């Protein structure tokens, strides 16, 4: 009887899982979306009215958010659409904070780091876990996306700080964040670093890593870029994202399998 109840509950949890399994595909698409979000935001702001661009970004973000929270289970295209819109709109918000409000990158980096810490601390205090494998209730889903938003905001500010404030340039910043992205994996596989800490540390690093290389390819040579243009970068990255998301939608390779 108890075993039957346990199996039923696990099936219910499986159905309610709203986030993907952490596979190599997850990290590839995550990096592509962060890069694409950076370039898309810059392209829109520079080619149409900036206020219209921000409004469009906000509308797209809230539509994607509604779709994600309305879904009853993990759906690859819905999940990654929201991640893309977080990347685009999050970049716009970070740029507004710096360009319009005049807040230095180091100050916004510290502020967003504090916000992220508060989100994680509150999430853990309420749910007793920060595991990616535990997102099967609405409250945990809210905490998860709050953390995602905070990581994007912090990562955006951090990447701009290293490239601009510290004058490393885009390529050097990208190399720096490659090292920081790989470190938690090394710590986890070789030294037993806590799995949840390793995941979220790497997750935070994906934002400045992807954005740094997107800017390196797209920005003019005069500001340490290669000069291909944001539009070209957006087009290439969008095609790659669509290919991977279609593959995941068909194969279901990233659907979480809940253990008994």
Q: Residue 260 pLDDT > 50, yes or no?
A: no
Whether 259 is covered by a domain: the verdict is: no
Among the residue ranges 4-13, 57-66, 80-89, 120-129, the one predicted with the least confidence is 4-13
Half-sphere exposure of 212 (CA within 13 A, CB side): 27
Report the pLDDT value the prediction gives residue 9, as an integer from 0 to 100.
Answer: 43
Question: What's the domain range around 54?
Answer: 23-251
Could you tell me if 88 and 40 are in contact, meaning their C-beta atoms sit under 8 angstroms apart? yes
Whether 16 is covered by a domain: the verdict is: no
Instruction: State the average pLDDT for the chain.
Output: 89
Whether 260 is covered by a domain: the verdict is: no
Report the pLDDT value the prediction gives residue 256, as an integer from 0 to 100.
Answer: 80
Whether 5 is covered by a domain: the verdict is: no
What is the per-residue burial (b if ≥16 Cβ within 10 Å, else e) of 26-60?
A: beebbbbbbbbbbbbbbbbbeeeebeebbebbeeb
Whether 129 is covered by a domain: the verdict is: yes
* CA dihedral sign of residues 105, 120, 35, 185: positive
* Count of domains observed in the chain: 1
Report the pLDDT value the prediction gives residue 16, as an integer from 0 to 100.
Answer: 63
Q: Which position has the higher pLDDT, 160 or 249? A: 249
Whether 185 is covered by a domain: the verdict is: yes
Report the pLDDT value the prediction gives residue 50, as an integer from 0 to 100.
Answer: 86
Nearest in space to 200 (alpha carbons), one of 151, 136, 161, 140: 151
- Could you give the CA distance from residue 43 to residue 65 in angstroms, rounded to a whole number? 23
Whether 13 is covered by a domain: the verdict is: no
Q: Residue 12 pLDDT > 50, yes or no?
A: no
Nearest in space to 79 (alpha carbons), one of 124, 19, 37, 153: 19
Q: What is the pLDDT of residues 124-183, one digit of tens each?
A: 999 999 998 888 889 999 999 999 988 888 888 898 899 988 999 999 999 999 999 999
Report the pLDDT value the prediction gives residue 136, as an integer from 0 to 100.
Answer: 85
In this prediction the pTM is: 0.90
- Rounded alpha-carbon distances, angstroms, from residue 148 to 10, 19, 143, 205, 216: 26, 12, 9, 12, 24
- Rounded alpha-carbon distances, angstroms, from residue 38 to 99, 135, 159, 224: 15, 27, 11, 16
Could you tell me if 151 and 207 are in contact, meaning their C-beta atoms sit under 8 angstroms apart? yes
Phi-psi sector, 23: left (phi>0), alpha (psi -120 to 50), beta: beta
Whether 162 is covered by a domain: the verdict is: yes
């Amino acid at each position: 009887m108890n075993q039957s109840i346990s199996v039923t509950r696990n099936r219910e949890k499986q159905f309610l899982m709203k986030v993907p399994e952490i596979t190599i595909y997850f990290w590839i698409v995550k990096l592509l979306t962060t890069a694409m979000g950076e370039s898309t935001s810059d392209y829109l702001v520079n080619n149409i009215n900036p206020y219209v661009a921000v409004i469009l970004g906000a509308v797209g973000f809230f539509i994607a958010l509604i779709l994600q929270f309305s879904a009853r289970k993990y759906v690859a295209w819905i999940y990654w659409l929201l991640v893309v819109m977080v990347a685009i709109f999050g970049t716009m918000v970070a740029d507004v904070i710096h360009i319009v409000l005049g807040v230095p990158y180091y100050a916004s980096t510290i502020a967003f780091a504090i916000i992220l810490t508060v989100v994680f601390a509150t999430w853990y205090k309420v749910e007793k876990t920060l595991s990616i494998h535990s997102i099967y209730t609405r409250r945990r889903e809210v905490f998860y996306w709050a953390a995602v938003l905070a990581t994007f905001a912090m990562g955006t500010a951090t990447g701009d700080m290293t490239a601009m404030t510290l004058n490393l340039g885009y390529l050097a910043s990208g190399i720096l964040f490659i090292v920081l992205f790989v470190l938690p994996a090394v710590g986890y596989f070789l030294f037993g670093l806590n799995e949840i800490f390793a995941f979220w540390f790497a997750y935070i690093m994906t934002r400045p890593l992807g954005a740094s290389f997107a800017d390196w390819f797209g920005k003019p040579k005069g500001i340490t870029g290669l000069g291909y243009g944001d539009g070209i970068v957006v087009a290439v990255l969008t095609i790659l994202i669509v290919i991977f998301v279609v593959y995941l939608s068909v194969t279901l390779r990233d659907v979480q399998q809940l253990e008994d």
